[in-house]
Amino acid sequence: MQTTDTVLMIEPVAFGYNAETAENNYFQIEQKGADIQSKALAEFKNFVGKLESKGINVITIKDTIEPHTPDSIFPNNWVSFHKDGKVVLYPMFAANRRVERREDIIESIKNQGYTVTETDDWSLPEIHGHYLEGTGSMIFDHDKKIAYGSVSLRLDENLFREFCEKYDFTPVVFHSFQTVGEERLPIYHTNVMMCVADQFVVICLDCIDDEAERNNVVKTIRNSGKEIIEISEAQMQQFAGNMLQVQNKDGKKFLVMSQTAYRSLNETQVSNIEKYCEIIYSDLNTIEVNGGGSARCMLAEVFLPKK
């Protein structure tokens, strides 16, 4: 099943600009002087409210002050929850993100009636400088058992292939870039340039500079029977690739994105999406600017079976 009706979200208590991740996340800009945490919290709560109002189940867990984890609002990088009851933990690039992996969060989800059969810990390679940042770096087509991965510091190709082999996904490996100043630099996470839904894929093909790789991605998506909804690199910079399809308790589908992303889309793109599902968007400007992540990054899908 491609979509879930339950997501985990981590409520920020000390959100802010993370200099460690900004090293290769070119979306981040440090805002000075403003009360970043209180603005981020207001955006977070408003976002949760919008999801819940549509019948989507949101498990909200509050972050802790210590240890300081400025990026904990983006849990989808360190954990994924699978329909067979497995919980997977991932190796993280930034040292101050590794402490986001909290056993009490997994326990809390179990206490809400979900079955966890096993915790599969992949975090060890981070000690040796190899990273695979969860559903930030890997985009899953659950129905077709395909995993898309753009190689970067945060997606080690060998680890990605190893993961796909274990979890029975066909890996689609490529390289994607964004223009920063005069340079073409690797995009830090695959999920800022593409989103796989049940019947369509939103993707910035302009980011895949290698023609053979681009053609292979296009061919794979088409062969999977999904419509390609293309976005420009300028739209990708506005987080138009950072979307997630979810469903509510009645099975109605929604595509979740930020207000920034929504406003960057043209009428044709919006109507192409709305052929398949309703759009939910929310103002996440403070979180996007300081954190360099958007709506999809804030949502860890929970596919675990209910007890």
DSSP sequence for 193-260: TEEE-SSEEEE-GGG---HHHHHHHHHHHHHTT-EEEE--HHHHHTTTT--EEEE-TT--EEEEEEHH
Question: Alpha-carbon distance 162 to 235, whole Å?
Answer: 32
Indicate the residue type of 115.
Answer: T
**DSSP summary character for residue 31:** P
Question: Alpha-carbon distance 226 to 53, whole Å?
Answer: 29
The sign of the CA dihedral 203, 211, 189, 80 is: positive
Of all helices (H) and strands (E), which one includes residue 19?
helix 19-22
* 3-state class (DSSP) for residue 28: coil
- Name residue, tokens 């800022």: 192
Q: What burial class does residue 228 get, using C-beta atoms within 10 Å of its C-beta: 0-12 exposed, 13-18 middle, 19+ buried?
A: middle
Report the candidate in 69, 23, 51 with the shortest Cα–Cα distance to residue 292. 23
The tens digit of pLDDT for each residue in 236-264 reads 999 999 999 999 999 999 999 999 999 99
- Domains, the chain, ranges and CATH? 6-301 (3.75.10.10)
pLDDT in tens, the chain (307 residues): 999 999 999 999 988 754 544 445 444 445 555 588 889 999 999 999 999 999 999 999 999 988 888 889 999 999 999 999 999 999 999 998 999 999 999 999 999 999 999 999 999 999 999 999 999 999 999 999 999 999 999 999 999 999 999 999 999 999 999 999 999 999 999 999 999 999 999 999 999 999 999 999 999 999 999 999 999 999 999 999 999 999 999 999 999 999 999 999 999 999 999 999 999 999 999 999 888 899 999 999 999 999 8
